[in-house]
Amino acid sequence: MARPAIQETTAPNISGDAFSYAPGIHMSLQGKGGVGKSLVASILAQYFMSGGREIACIDTDPVNRTLSQYKAVNASRLELLRNGNIDPRGFDVLMERLLTEDLTFVIDNGASTFLPLWSYVIENQVIDVLKKAGKNLYVHTVITGGQALLDTVNGFRSLAQSIEEQSIVLWINEYFGRVERDGKKFADMAAYTENTEKVFGSVHITQRNHDTFGRDVEEVISRKLTFEEAIREGGFSIMSKQRLRVVQRDLFEQLDSIGF
């Protein structure tokens, strides 16, 4: 299977040979807060719902319960705090669901639980346990431009170096600026070139006009609407709905090309 390339506007056309089409478990993980993890989780939920999949969304963030604010995706909350601290045994409850329910799962993980959850995954050999149960784990991580670029690149590197599987889905988020450093695009950075075999696919959140597309998407996010809700009944203008359709179609087509 050829290594996926980071493209400017579309995700690579990946055959999916490395993974069967077993029930998928999709975790949105990134150690840096405020870069779009919950947005990624909400897009994944919308995408699978549009394809008729039976999904279960889980919000594990004990501080900012963002995904659970999207009423349309009906996310449940995973309680992890005990006496003000993260209790790793709380992830046992999550694993029980992942292993016993035949659904497509979308899990939104907060920055505060990034290290505890990923340590749990590695220490308990969760990927192998899921694989033996016929379930595939996909780790979705955001790389963003602007001030958080280095933090998100390092977050990707730490994930990639801790696993052997080709299971990472990159979300190249240009909302805060181009994903470039010292004249290098992300595809040319050492963090990526040294770990391409861990990347299953990528989605490019393209930088668009902030005064039109940007404001429309911001309103959708602030109101915690799905694209379908906004387009159908969100009180947006005709052209705002058209721009939202463009964004939705672009993202969904990229996800189609990955082949979950």
pTM of the shown model? 0.89
Q: What is the DSSP string of 169-185?
A: EEEEE-TTS-SEETTEE
> In sequence order, what are the residues at sequence separation of 6 or more whose Cβ sits closer than 8 angstroms to the Cβ of residue 141?
28, 29, 30, 152, 155, 156, 159, 168, 169, 170, 171
pLDDT at 3: 44
Query: What pLDDT is stored for residue 177 in this prediction?
Result: 87
User: For 230-256, what is each residue's pLDDT tens digit?
Assistant: 999 879 999 999 999 999 999 999 999
Q: Which residues of the chain have pLDDT under 70?
A: 1-22
Query: What integer pLDDT is reported at residue 22 of this predicted model?
Result: 58
Distances in whole angstroms, Cα of residue 244 to Cα of each of 61, 71, 165, 172 = 27, 19, 35, 19
Tell the CATH topology of 24-210: Rossmann fold (3.40.50)
